[in-house]
Amino acid sequence: MAASHHFVSELEKLKTEVIELLLRIQEAPQKPEVDQLNMKIESLLELLRELQSDLGVGLAYMYFCGYLKLIIPKTGTSEKHLKELMQDYEDQHKIKFEFYKMFVLIPKSLYCATSLEEVSSRIEKCVSLDEKRITRAGVQDRIYKNSVYKIVSDESVYKYAIVEYATPLNTFREIFNYYEQDSGKHEKKDRVLSRFYSTLQKVLQEDEGCRDYCELVLYEDKDENGDFSDVGDIILERMQNLQQTPPPAMELEDTMASLQINDLENAPSTNESGEASAPPEPPQRRRSARLMACPETPEKRRVLTKPTKIPKDSSLSSIENYYLDKRVKRLNLPLETIYEEVRHYRNDEVHMSSKKFLRAINFTTAAVKNKSKIRKRKAKVKHLMAHARVNNKKIAMKFLFEKLAEIKDE
């Protein structure tokens, strides 16, 4: 806070100059000299007001750049965002924050209590958030952490929030009480406080990483009798206002601009004579390139699934070629015959009985495949080839015959 001391020292110098000019006015006998001194006093007073305003601006920027900008967003390292720290806290302690925000209290009296429990009967202190360690300005692993409080509502429900005072105000209060002894110090204090609040609010709104995670609470912390107000009531009221405030309206400037462009494109155009030209033809429906592509011709199959039908007037050679064609996949047809039982009588006469029997013989050209046998053979091959490093592309015939012999022996 060296800058604060610098501002205050500058104010003291200006005050001294103003007092000296007032004394010179009393001693000045001529009116032109008095008017000249009055003009100089007015300029010094204006400069004094600007310095007081700049003090609030400087405190706001120091608080933002030296603290809020470090504790709220990510720092470009492995450090977590304030929202992520709050979510981790919820998982650890099985609670729920009302808002993923840090409530910064700005009391008009500049009084900052050591703990919020001193100025509110509704507030209880909880375990702080996980700490952040940041190396800054030669200080190695400086610790930053935020305090968590639970506030009892009128419905006896706990509202969890991160609340803290704006620490520059406490330093400003100590400096101001030490240097300022005149009757107009309250007016100067209000001017500095107003500039501090407005500047800090503006800086937060302009920063995307801090905009939605910091809530400034400017409030009157003393009543007419000089007693401190309950900070818990003020925080609960602000939470209620945030819940009732609708979300910000979406910006539709770009969308409306595009709609206007579309209207201009679809509007009927006029020729040089001022007459409206014919409406443009409706755009043709664009076909997909996949549908426009020619279908691929099917490749020739090794097996004819639908062989041609043999006509009745086919020759014997064509029939033989058909049945000997290996590309035709046929079912295993059986050979069927009808058998009639023969009976012999005494006179050696042969009679055929009325019973007839069907005989069918199946001819199989290949061995019947059994899935279980194939599975067992694959398992044996896998077991034999487990410890052998074989190049799948090039296998010696001798090696192949040896493995086949081993499989056959088993």
Q: Is residue 313 helix, strand or coil? A: coil
| pLDDT over threshold 80, residue 242 | yes
In this prediction, what percent of the chain has a pLDDT beyond 90?
Answer: 12
| pLDDT over threshold 50, residue 365 | yes
Mean pLDDT rounded to a whole number for the chain: 72
- Among 141-150, 234-243, 308-317, the range scoring the smallest mean pLDDT is 308-317
**pLDDT average, residue stretch 376-381:** 81
DSSP state of 386: T
Quickly list H helices, 272-394.
289-292, 316-324, 371-384
Q: CB neighbours (10 Å) of residue 244?
A: 7
| pLDDT tens string 156-178 | 889 999 999 998 888 888 877 76
**pLDDT average, residue stretch 352-370:** 61
**Which residue ranges make up each domain of the chain?**
2-244, 373-385+395-409
d(CA 372, CA 154): 76
d(CA 240, CA 236): 6
pLDDT of residue 216: 93
| pLDDT tens string 1-20 | 444 445 455 556 656 665 66
Dmax (CA) for the chain in angstroms is: 183
Q: Which position has the higher pLDDT, 349 or 206?
A: 206
Structure tokens at 64: 């933002």
pLDDT of residue 257: 45
pLDDT of residue 151: 92
Strands of the 97-107 sheet, one edge to the other: 123-125, 148-152, 158-165, 97-107, 214-219
Q: Which position has the higher pLDDT, 288 or 193?
A: 193
pLDDT of residue 264: 46
Listed in sequence order, the residues at least 6 apart from 10 whose beta carbon sits closer than 8 Å to its beta carbon are 51
Length of the chain, in residues:
410
CATH superfamily of 2-244: Stimulator of interferon genes protein (3.40.50.12100)
Confidence band (pLDDT; 50, 70, 90) for 274? low
DSSP string across 24-56: HHHH--SHHHHHHHHHHHHHHHHHHHHHHHHHH
- Among 273-277, 307-311, 344-348, 376-380, the range scoring the smallest mean pLDDT is 273-277
Q: What's the Cα-to-Cα distance from 119 to each of 149, 376, 387, rounded to whole Å? A: 13, 83, 79
Q: Is residue 74 helix, strand or coil? A: coil
Contact 123, 231 (CB under 8 A): yes
Which amino acid would we find at residue 93?
Answer: H
d(CA 285, CA 291): 13
| pLDDT tens string 59-109 | 888 888 888 888 888 655 567 888 888 999 999 999 999 999 999 999 988
| pLDDT over threshold 60, residue 228 | yes
| pLDDT over threshold 80, residue 276 | no
**pLDDT average, residue stretch 194-209:** 89
Structure tokens at 119: 């100025």
Listed in sequence order, the residues at least 6 apart from 132 whose beta carbon sits closer than 8 Å to its beta carbon are 70, 71, 75, 79, 80, 85, 143, 144, 145
d(CA 219, CA 159): 20
In this prediction, what percent of the chain has a pLDDT beyond 70?
Answer: 52
Structure tokens at 40: 């100089």
d(CA 340, CA 253): 99
Contact 22, 77 (CB under 8 A): no
DSSP state of 137: T
| pLDDT tens string 175-196 | 777 665 555 566 778 888 888 8
**pLDDT average, residue stretch 333-346:** 65
| pLDDT over threshold 60, residue 239 | yes
- Among 151-155, 290-294, 312-316, the range scoring the smallest mean pLDDT is 290-294
Q: How many helices (H) and strands (E) in the chain?
A: 12, 9
pLDDT of residue 105: 93
Q: What's the Cα-to-Cα distance from 252 to each of 93, 120, 249, 257, 261, rounded to whole Å? A: 41, 44, 9, 8, 14
